[in-house]
Each structure stands twice: as structure tokens, then as C-alpha cells.
């Protein structure tokens, strides 16, 4: 059993050894972090551990907020390990992700943003898809459900499924054919694509991506072999695109895919990454 039900919350018992380490970089947005943790509390199937690293300073520290503390208690009562880390000073997202990856030891790692709610069953579905495909990562691109009335078939025209869900390595750079896939993840395009494909409950299809933001499950050994986020010290603190750089390196060696349907919902809160002057993928991998 991977999740203890409420009748067992008061028992002294540990859960299964984690197969997935869920790694959450956090800064501000305690309400959103609580929702993110609530989504994890609804997951079952694959055993997982949660590691949250917070860089909020002062009295606004996210871990002190009642809603966050309550969801941490729920996860622990369910038998999940939850580790709360403080990691300062802030040196940018690449360094923060590098720090979390160093703390992980499960065979798979999910990098999950602190403003994403996961539909029940999403983590197990991603895990099973990644194991079946044998590639470097499978990502659930985040969707803004406020855009459900806004169907954009012209942005979904580039959707390309992996035949038989068999994923191959590929090289993505700005200007390449694969780079042009990025509009697939706008608005609620994946929700519309899932409806058009009529995927049955619990099923999935894997598709070609430019990159995936917000919710990506990696084979940890593949990510580490490709360098992970070891390039962090080549970047100033103000940057974006560090996830793209890491994914492109993994894609070239092991391949990567997106999963439809995506159970990842973007909470549509304002971004905390306000300094995007430096594109990490450009600095690390060039054009």
C-alpha cells in the first residue's frame, strides 16, 4: 500500500520506499504551495517522497503558513516522507534545482513548480508512461483552465504523436523544426487535444515536444548523466530557461516526451521569475 487512508493516520507506520522524489522549488506564494501539496496528497500508485526547498525570507516564510503546514501533516499521515528545506541566498533557479537534485536518491525525480495542481492519478500515469517508453523524461505541460472556452486549433496543428509511444532522441534548438512545437502548451491546448483524441480514462499518448514547463518526471540517472543543472555557476541569478537547457541535453541522448492528457493545472498566479534577461538555454547550449 502506498497511501494510508484516514483510518490509519494515527498509526506508527512508515510507507513504502520512494520510487519518485518530488522536488519543489518555492519562493513566496504560500497559498499556491498549499494547493500544490494538496494535489500530491491525492496521488496514489507509485510511492513518492516530497522535498520542498523554500527561499522566501522573513516572516512570510511559506512553511509557517497554516495551509502549507496542514497539507504537510496530511502527507506525513498518509505515510509520505516530506522534507522541508531552507536554501539561501538566492542564486537563481538553476542553482536551486541543482541543490534539490543533489538531495534526491529515488530512481525518478519530478520537478514540480509550486503553482501547479495535479489531477489524482497523474503521477502514477507519468511514471508508467516513462517506464514503458524508456526515455529520459515525460512531462505534463501545465494548462490554464480559464482558457477552456478559447480553443486554438491553429496552435494544435503541430501536434505530433510518437508512433506506438516509442520515444527517440532528438536535438532541439531555436530555428529547428522541433522548436516550433512550443505553442502546443499555450492556454488549454492540451485539454482540447485530449478531447479530440478521445483518450480513455487512465490512458495516455506521448507526443513530441519542444520542452515542457512546470511538471517534468525524469529518469534521475539519465538527468545526472547529462549534467543535470551543473551549469548553474555559468549564469547570473537573474535568468530563465534553465529547465529548457537541462531537458534539451537529456533529449539529445535519451529522448523526451509530453503526455496527453496532462493532469497538471497551472494556478495562473503571477510569476515570481521577474528577471528573464538571460536565457539559460542560449548561454549553455547556444543557438
Question: Tell me, what's the pLDDT at 60?
Answer: 57
Does the pLDDT of residue 14 top 80, yes or no? no
Which of 266, 272, 277 has the alpha carbon at shortest distance from 112? 266
| Mean pLDDT estimate for the chain | 93
Segment 62-78 mean pLDDT: 94
Angle CA(68)–CA(118)–CA(14) in degrees, nearest 5? 60
pLDDT of residue 57: 79
Are 222 and 138 contacting, i.e. CB atoms less than 8 angstroms apart?
no
**pLDDT over 60 at 269, yes or no:** yes
Task: Give the confidence band of 63 by pLDDT, cuts at 50, 70, 90.
Answer: confident
Residue in 242, 177, 241 with CA at minimum distance from that of residue 208: 177
Q: For 179-195, what is each residue's pLDDT tens digit?
A: 999 999 999 999 999 99
* Rounded distance between C-alpha atoms, residue 79 and residue 49, angstroms: 9
Please answer whether residues 29 and 272 qualify as being in contact, where contact means their C-beta atoms are separated by less than 8 angstroms.
yes
Q: Can you give the pLDDT at residue 276? A: 66
Beta bridge mates, 258: 139, 207
Q: What percentage of residues in the chain have a pLDDT greater than 90?
A: 80
pLDDT above 70 coverage of the chain, percent:
97
Cell of 47: 510511492
Whole-angstrom distance, CA of residue 39 vs CA of residue 116: 8
163: buried, middle or exposed (CB in 10 Å: 19+, 13-18, 0-12)? exposed
What was the pLDDT predicted at 213? Answer: 94
How many whole angstroms separate alpha carbon 139 and alpha carbon 222? 15
Supply angle C-alpha 39, 41, 42, rounded to 5.
70
pLDDT of the residue at 271: 78
* Residue 166 scores a pLDDT above 70: yes
Region 66-95: mean pLDDT is 94
Q: What is the pLDDT of residue 280?
A: 86
| pLDDT classification of 255: cutoffs 50, 70, 90 | very high
Better pLDDT: 31 or 275: 31
Instruction: Return the bridge partners of 118, or none.
Output: 264
Buried b (16+ CB within 10 A) or exposed e, 36-73: bbbbbbbbbbbbbbbbbbbbbeeeebbbebebbbebbe
pLDDT band with cut points at 50, 70 and 90 for residue 274: low
The pLDDT tens digits of the residues spanning 195-240 come to 999 999 999 999 999 999 999 999 999 999 999 999 999 999 889 8
Provide the 8-state DSSP code for 89. S
Confidence (pLDDT) at 240: 87
Q: Provide the β-strand partners of residue 215.
A: 112
The mean per-residue pLDDT over the stretch 93-117 comes to: 97
Helix then strand then coil, % of the chain, to nearest 5 = 40, 15, 45
Amino acid at each position: 500500500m502506498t497511501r494510508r487512508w484516514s483510518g490509519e493516520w494515527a498509526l506508527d507506520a512508515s510507507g513504502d520506499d520512494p520510487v519518485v522524489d518530488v522536488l519543489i522549488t518555492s519562493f513566496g506564494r504560500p497559498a499556491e504551495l498549499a494547493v500544490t501539496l494538496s494535489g500530491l496528497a491525492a496521488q496514489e500508485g507509485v510511492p513518492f517522497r516530497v522535498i520542498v526547498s523554500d527561499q522566501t525570507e522573513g516572516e512570510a516564510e511559506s512553511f509557517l503558513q497554516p495551509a502549507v503546514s496542514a497539507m504537510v501533516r496530511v502527507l506525513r499521515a498518509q505515510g509520505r516522507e516530506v522534507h522541508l528545506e531552507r536554501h539561501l541566498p538566492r542564486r537563481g533557479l538553476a542553482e536551486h534545482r541543482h541543490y534539490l537534485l543533489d538531495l534526491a536518491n529515488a530512481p525518478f525525480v519530478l520537478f514540480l513548480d509550486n503553482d501547479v495542481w495535479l489531477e489524482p492519478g497523474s503521477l502514477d500515469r507519468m511514471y508508467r508512461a516513462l517506464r514503458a517508453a524508456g526515455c529520459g523524461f515525460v512531462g505534463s505541460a501545465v494548462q490554464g483552465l480559464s482558457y477552456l472556452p478559447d480553443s486554438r486549433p491553429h496552435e494544435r496543428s503541430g501536434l505530433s504523436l510518437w508512433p506506438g509511444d516509442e520515444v527517440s532522441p532528438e536535438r532541439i534548438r531555436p530555428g529547428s523544426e522541433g522548436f516550433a512545437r512550443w505553442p502546443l502548451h499555450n492556454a488549454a491546448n492540451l485539454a482540447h487535444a485530449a478531447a479530440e483524441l478521445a483518450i480513455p480514462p487512465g490512458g495516455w499518448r506521448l507526443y513530441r515536444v519542444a520542452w515542457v514547463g512546470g511538471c517534468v518526471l525524469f529518469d534521475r540517472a539519465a538527468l545526472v548523466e547529462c549534467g543535470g543543472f551543473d551549469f548553474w555557476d555559468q549564469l547570473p541569478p537573474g535568468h530563465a530557461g534553465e529547465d529548457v537547457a537541462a531537458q534539451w541535453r537529456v533529449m539529445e541522448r535519451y529522448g523526451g516526451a509530453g503526455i496527453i492528457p496532462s493532469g497538471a493545472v497551472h494556478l495562473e498566479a503571477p510569476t515570481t521569475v521577474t528577471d528573464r534577461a538571460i536565457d539559460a538555454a542560449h548561454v549553455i547550449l547556444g543557438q
